Amino acid sequence: GTPLIGKSPAHLMLFTVYLATMSWYTVTAFHNYFTREPTEEFSLIPMSSVPVQSINISVECSHKWLCFENATLQPALAPDPEPIPGAWPKPAMRWVWDGAPIFESHMLSPPGCNVSDQYAIPGMGNPWSRHKGQLSLCYSPLPDQGIHIRVPGFTNPKAWCPYGDLSCSPFLRVHLSTESPTPIDLTLDIEPQQRKAMYVGVVARYDTDAGTSSFTPYNADLFYEGKNPDSSAHLRLTMKQFAEAFTRSKKGTMLEVIGEIGGVEALLLLAIAICSVLGRMFAACVVAKRGRTARGGSRYGSSSTTATGELHASWHHVHGQSRVSPGAGDRGDSEPAPKVLKAGSSPA
């Protein structure tokens, strides 16, 4: 058959369009690939895939000795009978208590997060219960695991004071912080009989091109879980089930660009083939129309000649094979028709 790209001007024009279009698209596709901007996608990932987070904790009591359970001032068991010269004498009275505030990190599940740290707030010489420490926090599906700040009991010097009156009811002030670009910086109070829970979320950022990742904890939710029957208080820190992940990367590969170019080439060749077929069909229609016009004219001329011959024949038959001389019709004169000689006969 006829090749798709022939030597006709139409085919040469289509071939030129093909080369120009493919050259332009190829250059544009590779330019866009090498200069593409990175994009950032959001997704939720299991918190178990986030590494252990460090939480800085500092606590301080609102009143001296009142954040200890049943704190009382009692006489010293063994007063110093003979003080050492230049030394502080032993006090005759001292504070005693049944329990001191404590904060701990206790997580044994999942296997990748196995930490167990505990800090008991020292009482001697620390009437304000001041203490600082750093605990590890990771996700655990068990509700009793996480960071716990416990106050076994508060000492209320005035039993008749109404609940929540800061003039007589002590509280333990807790400050939570992290070391990150956007750190947690939260201060909240634990009052007698309160049970509170704080959920810590994490924003994970991944850069696939640079191969880096960062994790930023934040205060997601704070709940009041209930009220204890005694003066104890409790604050629980746990992690959410999912972390917010932002993945930064440049989309696309070299193979995808080459496949794109091949797809455009296939579509362009299909369009050229369709245009070529339509052009051939149009040319064939024009040639056929011209042929029909030419044949129609020849048929009209042939029929006219035939009709004229038949008319002459009928005329001669009616007038008895006689031929009318020109102009004789008006005079009524006629001349006999010429005789036809047979072979071997002589004229009369």
Summarised one tens digit per residue, pLDDT across range 12-32 is 887 888 889 999 999 999 988
112-131: average pLDDT: 76
153-161: average pLDDT: 74
215-238: average pLDDT: 92
Strands ordered across the beta sheet of 53-61: 131-137, 53-61, 172-177, 185-190
182-193: average pLDDT: 89
Whether the pLDDT of residue 236 is over 70: the answer is yes
Between the alpha carbon of residue 228 and those of residues 89, 176, 197, 287, the distances in Å are 41, 23, 14, 102
261-266: average pLDDT: 90
Whether the pLDDT of residue 116 is over 80: the answer is no
**99 contacts: CB under 8 Å, gap ≥ 6:** 68, 69, 70, 152, 153
User: Phi, psi at residue 255, to the nearest 5°?
Assistant: -65, -35
87-103: average pLDDT: 77
d(CA 40, CA 245): 10
Whether the pLDDT of residue 293 is over 70: the answer is yes
What sign does the CA torsion over 82, 84, 85, 87 have? negative
- Residue tagged 């050229």 (tokens): 272
**Mean pLDDT, the chain, whole residue set:** 78
Whether the pLDDT of residue 201 is over 90: the answer is yes
